[in-house]
Amino acid sequence: MKIYNDHNLYILGAGFSYEANMPLMSTFITELKKAYNWYPKDSYARDSIEAILKFRQLSTSSAYRVNLDLDNIEDLFSLAATDGYESIKLLRTGLCATLEYCKKTAKRPTYSVNIRDDVPYLNAKLEGLDDGMGGRKKINIDSYDYISSVLSGIGQQKNDQISSIISFNYDTILEDSLESIGQDYTYCLKEKVRDIGKLDKTPLVKLHGSMNWLNNGKEIRIKSFDKILEDKNTPFIIPPIWTKSSSDVTNTLWGNALELISSATRIIIIGFSLPKTDLFFRYLLASGLQENISLQHIYIVNPNYSEIEDDVNDLFANNKTKELVHSIPNDTTRIFIGSKFNDLINRPFDERIDSFTR
C-alpha cells in the first residue's frame, strides 16, 4: 500500500464543457433541433438526429401514463433502451452529432494574459510584445487550453506531483485542448493502472465512452467523429440510461477509475451534479474511497451548488469524509484564473504568468 502526497484527481461532468458550448442533459433537445437544421439533407448525421426526434414524438403517449420528461435526454434514452438495438444505435450517433454541431459552432471563451516570458505550451497568438513594463507580453489564449494545462500539470508538474482525470463526457473538448498544448494523454483502454506515479502520460478515463471511439468488435479504435460519420458507423458511448452494459472495455475503464480514486490526495469534482440516481458512480466512489489512505480534500466546483447540496450531503454522509468536502460555487473558466483555488489544489500559476482577465 502506497501513500500519495500530491495526486490531484479531477472528475468532470457536463458542466465542465458547458462554457465551450456543450449542452447539459436538460437542454440537449433544444440543441439537437438546431443541429438537425445545420447538417445537410440526406446526411447520416441528420438522419440519426431525425431518429431521436421521431422516437421522442412516438413516446409522447408514454409520458402521459408515466412521469417522464421527454425533453431530458436521459429519460428519452432510458425509454429507448427497451426499443431494440437499431434504435439505440441511431440515437447514439444522433447524440454525438449534436455535440459535434455544438463544438463547430461555438465561440470559445478566451483569457487575456500578461506573461513575463514565452509560455510555449499555451500555443497562443502574441498580440503585443514589450509593453514597457519589464518586458511583459500580452496574449489571448483559449481558456480551455489553459485549464487543460492545469489539469494535466504541464509546465508546473514536480517530481512528486501527479494529475489524473475521470470524465463522464462524450465530447472531446478536453482532448482537443490537451493536443493543442502538446500534452500526451492516455485513455487507459487496454492497460490497467497499477502505479499512477509511473505513467508518462496524463490518464484520462472516460467512463461513458467517447464520440471519437469506435468499437470494431475486437478493440476500441480512436477516430475523428467526422470519419465515423463518413463511414456511417456508431461511436462507442454508453448513453445516460439506467441499464449500463458490461464488457471488457467498460470493466477496464471502471477498474482504472477505481485505482485513480483510491490513490487520490485531492478529488476535484467539476460540473458534475452527483445525482442520487447514478448508483454506479456512488458505488465506484464508495469502493475507491474505502481503499484510499491518501485523501486530504474533496472540492466540488459547481455554480449551482445550493441545488445539489442535499445530494452531496447524502453522498458523503460519513462524518469523517464530510469534513474533507469543500464547496466552490463557481464556473469552470472562472475558478482557474484565481490564485486562491490554484493554491488550494497545490497547482499555483506558472511563474511566467503575471495576471489574467476574462
pLDDT one-digit tens code per residue, 295-314: 999 999 998 888 888 888 88
Which burial class, exposed, middle or buried, applies to 33 when counting CB atoms under 10 A from its CB (0-12, 13-18, 19+)?
A: middle
pLDDT at position 128 is 46
pLDDT at position 129 is 45
Q: Kindly report, as residue ranges, where domains of CATH 3.40.50.1220 are found in the chain.
A: 7-21+141-349
CATH architecture of 7-21+141-349: 3-Layer(aba) Sandwich (3.40)
Looking at the predicted structure, is the pLDDT value of residue 27 above 70?
yes
User: Which residues, 6 or more positions from 336, have their beta carbon under 8 angstroms from its beta carbon?
Assistant: 143, 146, 147, 150, 342
What's the pTM value of the predicted model, to 2 decimals?
0.91
The pLDDT of 239-261, averaged and rounded, is: 78
In 133-243 the beta strands, taken as DSSP E runs, fall at: 137-142, 162-167, 185-186, 202-206, 209-215, 220-222, 235-237
The dihedrals phi and psi of 71, each to the nearest 5 degrees, come to: -90, -5
Q: Strands 235-237, 7-12: parallel, antiparallel or unpaired by DSSP?
A: unpaired
φ/ψ region of 266 (left if φ > 0, alpha if ψ in -120 to 50, else beta) reads: beta
Looking at the predicted structure, is the pLDDT value of residue 196 above 80?
no
More confident residue, 185 or 155: 185
Residue 251: C-alpha distances to residues 16, 118, 169, 192 (Å):
25, 43, 18, 10
Rounded CA separation 308/275 (Å): 8
Biggest CA pair distance of the chain: 70
DSSP string for 206-223: ETTEEEEEEE-SSSEEE-
* DSSP code, position 23: P
3-state class of 9 per DSSP? Answer: strand
